[in-house]
Amino acid sequence: MPPNILDSVRGPDIHDVFEPPGPQTLQFRHRTISGVSAEADNVMFPWYWTRLDHPALNGRPQAILTVTPVGRIEGEGPTVRLVQNPHPVGVLYRDVDDRWYIYNLGLEAMSLRADFHVAVHEATREE
């Protein structure tokens, strides 16, 4: 059974996705990959979360971010398939490792090799 990352998060640290990207927004693509331990890669398939590792987010619990699942076509001919994470997602920050995570709200397994569009907004609130 995968560890429950929500166990180490206090209520106010859970953030919902909101607001579209603006001109002061850093944007990047995140892809889930398989891993062998909780410390190794950015998702532990079939776990329900993926860890974001980006200098604009690492060590910044005050960051405001928007995460959007992105589907893409993979393969050719008879092996073509749609790769996506079809579940509603949320984001949270863990003080334990100073990283942000994307997680499936219903705790369903995170799709392997799923892409997410991540937008990091300028912080507009005081902590």
Residue in the structure block whose two tokens are 């995968």: 2
In angstroms, rounded to a whole number, what is the distance separating the alpha carbons of residues 95 and 78?
45
Q: Which two tokens stand for residue 104?
A: 């499936």
Q: What is the pLDDT of residues 28-77, one digit of tens each?
A: 899 887 543 344 444 444 578 889 999 989 999 999 999 999 988 888 88
Cβ of 1: how many Cβ atoms within 10 Å? 4
The residue with tokens 């850093």 is 26
Residue 105 has a pLDDT of 93
**Mean of pLDDT values over 16-20:** 44
Distance CA(54)–CA(87), nearest Å, equals: 23
The CA-atom distances, in angstroms, between 80 and each of 28, 83, 110 are 25, 10, 20
**Mean pLDDT across 99-124:** 86
In the prediction, which pLDDT does 34 show? 56
Q: pTM (2 decimals)?
A: 0.70
